[in-house]
Amino acid sequence: MNDASVTQRITDLRRARGESLAILAHHYQRDAVVAHADILGDSLELSRKVAGLSARDIVFCGVFFMAETAAMLAGPGQRVHIPAPDAACVMSEMAPAALVERVLTRLAAAGRDVLPLTYVNSSAAVKAVVGARGGSVCTSANAGKMLEWALDQGRGVLFLPDKMLGQNTCNALGVPVEKRCILDVRGGGERLDLAAAASAEVLFWPGQCVIHARFKARDIAAVRAAHPGVKVVVHPECAPETVQAADAAGSTSFIIKYVAEAPAGAEIVIGTEINLVSRLARRYQGEKTIRPLCVSGCSNMAKGTEENLLALLETLDTAAPVTVPEDVRGPATAAVAKMLEVSAR
């Protein structure tokens, strides 16, 4: 089948299913997939939307943790599917649930019973570990609000798995550097510096997004030297030095809004996944100049294609939906529900 007939077949199948089908897509999906989405958004927007959907089948074009979170938020009788189930967020895999549990247990045994706050880029099993300890979840769009909430609980916080988002959020909230500590979780948690952990207010898991780690402060300096007056906006998964060198930082939807609100003729350099940057460059062609800080693509987001979307839609009634084990679902959903409640305040 050629590209045009794949596109047409997806369009026909969507039409035939009507409102019983909802297709959600993250901003990092390729254009050909985004074109079929009923709802496009950042992680927070997509989580919020799932709770209000009435469709029986929800198809989530993104990486696995996103579909898994949607499966937790879906109502009785609703089924969540992902066209590329092997699309794993590499950063989410840097915090295996058993190791998170082990580290929290070791800290607690040493008298440091911290509240865990996990970035939504984590498995349902990690969200369950966090939820069972009274913790919650955040996205890049509400990390400041959620970290403030977590600090207010008065137990100190373990922020995981993204040490970059954690540090950027602490910088924005003014948490002193000497009150922070990046944990060494190697050796099954045996190498933890318990003395450093005891005196810190915010502990960071040592994970990061390799796609966003490529954006460097020196690239921003070079771009400013070559293009005086340029504006630079980056995602908060970038290193703190990169975020500090930029004009602004925020979630994928924040970046889209930043570009939309820039005046005609603006020159904007963006530090985030290339699919989104290229889409914005095309959308504003001739009106604003949009360039990537460097070309960095998420190979797992790229696993979502029109071909596997079509294959899923062709077999939707018999396809195995994304499921979350019962013992995980309760505490993990509680952690996500807490986020939705606090971030709506």
Binding site for ligand 13P (CB under 6 A): 27, 42-43, 121, 139-141, 209, 235, 237, 251-252
Q: Which does 36 bind (CB under 5 to 8 A by kind): ligand SF4, ligand 13P, none?
A: none
Report 11-70 residues binding ligand SF4 (CB under 6 A).
63
Nearer residue to ligand SF4 within complex by CB, 156 or 205: 205
| Length in residues, the chain | 345
Count residues near ligand SF4 (CB under 6 A): 12
Min separation Cβ 29 and ligand 13P, Å: 11
Min separation Cβ 26 and ligand 13P, Å: 6
Q: What is the DSSP string of 153-187?
A: TTS-EEEESBHHHHHHHHHHHT--GGGEEE---TG
Nearer residue to ligand SF4 within complex by CB, 156 or 250: 250
d(C-alpha 256, C-alpha 276), whole Å: 9
Pick from 223, 277, 298, 309: which binds ligand SF4 (CB under 6 A)?
298
Token pair belonging to 250: 């925020």
274 near ligand SF4, judged by CB under 6 A: no
Q: Which does 140 bind (CB under 5 to 8 A by kind): ligand SF4, ligand 13P, none?
A: ligand 13P
Pick from 45, 101, 219, 273: which binds ligand SF4 (CB under 6 A)?
273
Q: Which does 43 bind (CB under 5 to 8 A by kind): ligand SF4, ligand 13P, none?
A: ligand 13P
Piece in contact with ligand SF4 (CB under 6 A), picked from 46-54, 87-95, 133-141, 321-329: 87-95
Provide long-range contacts, Cβ within 8 A and 24+ apart, for 77-82: 78/53, 79/321, 80/50, 80/321, 80/322, 81/57, 81/312, 81/316, 81/319, 81/321, 81/322, 82/322
Q: What is the DSSP string of 214-241?
A: T--HHHHHHHHHHSTT-EEEE-TTS-HH
Judge contact between 36 and 23, C-beta under 8 A: yes
143 near ligand SF4, judged by CB under 6 A: no
Q: Which residues of 158-189 are buried (b: 16+ CB within 10 A; e: fewer)?
A: bbbbbbbbbbbbbbeeebeeeebbbbebeeeb
Q: Which does 69 bind (CB under 5 to 8 A by kind): ligand SF4, ligand 13P, none?
A: none
Binding positions for ligand SF4, rule: CB under 6 A: 63, 89-91, 121, 209, 211, 237, 273, 298, 300-301
